[in-house]
Amino acid sequence: MIKYYSVNGKIVTKEEASLGINDLSILRGYGIFDYFLIKQGRPLFFDDYLDRMQHSAKSIGLPLPFSRQELKQQIYDLIKANDLEEAGMKLILTGGYSEDGYTPTTPNMLILVATLPSYPLTHYTEGIKLMLHEYHRTFPTVKSINYLMGVNLIPQMKAVGAEDVLFHFEGHIHETTRANFFIVKNDDTIVTAGEGILEGITRKKTLELARKCYPVEERNLKIDELQTAKEAFISSSTIQVMPVVQVSETTIGNGKPGRVSQHLRQLFRELEKEYLSALLV
Amino acid sequence: MIKYYSVNGKIVTKEEASLGINDLSILRGYGIFDYFLIKQGRPLFFDDYLDRMQHSAKSIGLPLPFSRQELKQQIYDLIKANDLEEAGMKLILTGGYSEDGYTPTTPNMLILVATLPSYPLTHYTEGIKLMLHEYHRTFPTVKSINYLMGVNLIPQMKAVGAEDVLFHFEGHIHETTRANFFIVKNDDTIVTAGEGILEGITRKKTLELARKCYPVEERNLKIDELQTAKEAFISSSTIQVMPVVQVSETTIGNGKPGRVSQHLRQLFRELEKEYLSALLV
């Protein structure tokens, strides 16, 4: 049972963990966050996630109130307090309590813990459907808390049986609401958007692994390329690598998860194991 | 002194007014709000604002947890508790405490009170400068809490001496971060964006007044039209009608507040007086 969160460096019970309603996240949706997994009681790819958190904070002009070392200690303390083996951990940095209701002040720093989301095995063995929607995130390289569009589309997405929404803009595919998107061409080349996206840590790791076996192209991905793609997949921390077999009305390849996607999923799972083993040495 | 806020229909002290950090406003910036003035202890244009709040809530799929009458009573109670004569009041409706950190649940309803913002008199007598920025708000007709772009631009705006940021997109001017925007052409025609904007209550009232004296066009406003505009102004609840004399590098007209803007400001102030007098009958 998860009992504790952290608010501004102090461990508090979930019930106590609160923010005054003058916080700029509540007033103006102003904040950034990051999210990583705890496995075997250890944060997975810890420094990669903290690097990204730092990048988001800097991009949005919110100073992190703790040093890297202090933040790590708070996270280790929270793992211990909750006796965590497997969990998802979310860091949120908000615009703080604003005097005028608009201008950021000293940020508030929150750490939340949740049970690991799990997906039906069939998502991996049969693949999933995505729904296309025209939209481009504001400050796409920043992991801001702004999910107005994604959350708003939940009912529509469920109505068409899609598991996520794939955003495209001016003819190019960028990413889904919470994952990166890839296609595999007939010659096994993997293509994914090179800019205008949130650079996922799982994306980065997967591309590193992919480059050892396949040609990889990080570039503008045209929406038309879905028609001729042999495979497609998405990546995220919780999803890892998940095959996509349909995008709105377009069936991808033969409508079944492909060999390359499954290979990359396997490689990523091995990488995760290696990372955790290395921590034990 | 403002002492009390309201959280989910209960009056609490400002210090007690808080949300658990699992609220979807904090996790995903998901919420809507509205803001109106209290003058002489009465909410100004009360039903217009409650109509818009209702429109925003419906558009974003969040049910208002109170009836119009209940909400009005809570607002009157809060005016009484704080012994308010003049103030700004903000209603916020959030996505609620989310189980999965993404899907909206029972919304949380907040009411905050603040002292009325005031602007230097010179803003009205000499006019202000705006800074152009390319951006179009997500769900522009909804008063969502998403101000990621506006808040992020504060330092840049201050650096160039602008009082607000004017958003344009695909060659058209929509609105500023928190106000509607108008130009006055040489023949005294008033032009303002007809769609893709938040429909301000002050905008609506001002246009109603303007139509009695001037030609009014609600239509796509081209960015080039700034070059030949005789006057420009913005409108909002706190600002009322404020002349604009410069937009980035473009001087508007002769660089001084114009006759039409000043006339409309005067008409709006009279309307406000009439509204308040009528309440006393």
The distance of A257 to chain B (nearest Cα, Å) reads 27
Instruction: For residue B18, give the nearest of A20, A61, A148 by CB distance.
Output: A20
Q: Is A101–B92 a contact, with Cβ atoms under 8 angstroms apart?
A: no
Q: Is the pLDDT assigned to residue A182 strictly greater than 80?
A: yes
Question: Which pLDDT score is estimated for A279?
Answer: 87
Give me the mean pLDDT over the B157-161 stretch: 98
CB proximity A181 to B under 8 Å: no
Q: Is the pLDDT assigned to residue A10 strictly greater than 90?
A: yes
**How do beta strands A10-13 and A128-134 pair?**
unpaired
A40: tokens are 């075997």
Distance between CA atoms of A155 and A151, rounded to whole angstroms?
9
Residues of B in Cβ contact (< 8 Å) with A112: 21-22, 101
The more confidently predicted of residues B22 and B279 is: B22
Question: Which pLDDT score is estimated for A5?
Answer: 98
Q: Which of B6, B26, B238 would you mutate first to test chain A, the one with the most A CBs within 10 A? A: B26
Distance between CA atoms of A139 and B135, rounded to whole angstroms?
11
Taking CA–CA distances from B4, the nearest residue in chain A reads: A21
Question: Which pLDDT score is estimated for A1?
Answer: 86
Q: Which residue has the tokens 């002040």?
A: A105
Q: Which residue has the tokens 């504001």?
A: A138
Q: Is B26–A27 a contact, with Cβ atoms under 8 angstroms apart?
A: no
| DSSP code of residue B252 | P
Residue range A185-215, pLDDT digits in tens: 999 999 999 999 999 999 999 999 999 999 9
Q: Is A21–B15 a contact, with Cβ atoms under 8 angstroms apart?
A: no
The distance of A216 to chain B (nearest Cα, Å) reads 32
Residues of A in Cβ contact (< 8 Å) with B19: 18-19, 21, 26
Residue pairs spanning A and B at CB distance below 8 A: 149
Question: Which pLDDT score is estimated for B253?
Answer: 97
Q: Is the pLDDT assigned to residue A281 strictly greater than 80?
A: no
pLDDT band at A159 (very low <50, low <70, confident <90, very high): very high
Question: Which pLDDT score is estimated for B280?
Answer: 78
A181 beta partners: A234
Residue range A108-154, pLDDT digits in tens: 999 999 999 999 999 999 999 999 999 999 999 999 999 999 999 99
CB proximity B194 to A under 8 Å: no
Q: Is A28–B94 a contact, with Cβ atoms under 8 angstroms apart?
A: no
Q: Is A29–B147 a contact, with Cβ atoms under 8 angstroms apart?
A: yes
Residue range A62-86, pLDDT digits in tens: 999 999 999 999 999 999 999 999 9
Distance between CA atoms of A124 and A239, rounded to whole angstroms?
9
**Which domains does chain A show, CATH number per domain?**
4-114 (3.30.470.10), 121-273 (3.20.10.10)
Q: Among residues 41-70 of chain B, which lie with CB inside 8 Å of chain A?
A: 60-61
Question: Which pLDDT score is estimated for B279?
Answer: 87
Q: Is A31–B31 a contact, with Cβ atoms under 8 angstroms apart?
A: no
**Which three-class secondary structure string do you get for chain B?**
CCCEEEECCEEEECCCCEEECCEHHHHHCCEEEEEEEEECCEECCHHHHHHHHHHHHHHHCCCCCCCHHHHHHHHHHHHHHCCCCCEEEEEEEECCECCCCCCCCCCCEEEEEECCCCCCHHHHHCCEEEEEEECCCCCCCCCECCCHHHHHCHHHHHHCCCCEEEEEECCEEEEECCCEEEEECCCCCEEECCCCCCCCHHHHHHHHHHHCCCCEEECCEECCHHHHCCEEEEEECCCEEEEEEEECCEECCCCCCCHHHHHHHHHHHHHHHHHHHHHHC
CA dihedral B189, B194, B198, B201 (to 10 degrees): 50
Residue range A12-65, pLDDT digits in tens: 999 999 999 999 999 999 999 999 999 999 999 999 999 999 999 999 999 999
Q: How many residues does chain A have?
A: 281
Question: Which pLDDT score is estimated for B120?
Answer: 97
Give me the mean pLDDT over the B215-241 stretch: 98
Q: Among residues 95-154 of chain B, which lie with CB inside 8 Å of chain A?
A: 95, 100-104, 110, 112, 114, 117, 135, 138-139, 144-152, 154
Q: Is A92–B21 a contact, with Cβ atoms under 8 angstroms apart?
A: yes
Question: Which pLDDT score is estimated for B81?
Answer: 98
Nearest partner of A89 among A41, A37, A141, judged by Cα: A37
Residue range B184-205, pLDDT digits in tens: 999 999 999 999 999 999 999 9
The distance of B121 to chain A (nearest Cα, Å) reads 19
The distance of A145 to chain B (nearest Cα, Å) reads 5
| DSSP code of residue B146 | -
Q: Is the pLDDT assigned to residue A280 strictly greater than 90?
A: no
The distance of A218 to chain B (nearest Cα, Å) reads 26
Residues of A in Cβ contact (< 8 Å) with B28: 145-148, 150-151
Q: Is A19–B18 a contact, with Cβ atoms under 8 angstroms apart?
A: yes
- Sheet containing B4-7: which strands, arranged edge to edge? B10-13, B4-7, B109-114, B87-94, B31-39, B42-43
CB proximity A17 to B under 8 Å: yes
What proportion of chain B, given as a percentage, has pLDDT over 90? Answer: 98
Residue range B59-91, pLDDT digits in tens: 999 999 999 999 999 999 999 999 999 999 999
Residues of A in Cβ contact (< 8 Å) with B94: 26
Give me the mean pLDDT over the A163-190 stretch: 98
Nearest partner of A104 among B29, B153, B37, B180, judged by Cα: B153
Residue range B104-122, pLDDT digits in tens: 999 999 999 999 999 999 9
Instruction: For residue A18, give the nearest of B21, B28, B104 by CB distance.
Output: B21
Average pLDDT, chain B: 97
Instruction: For residue A26, give the nearest of B94, B135, B144 by CB distance.
Output: B94
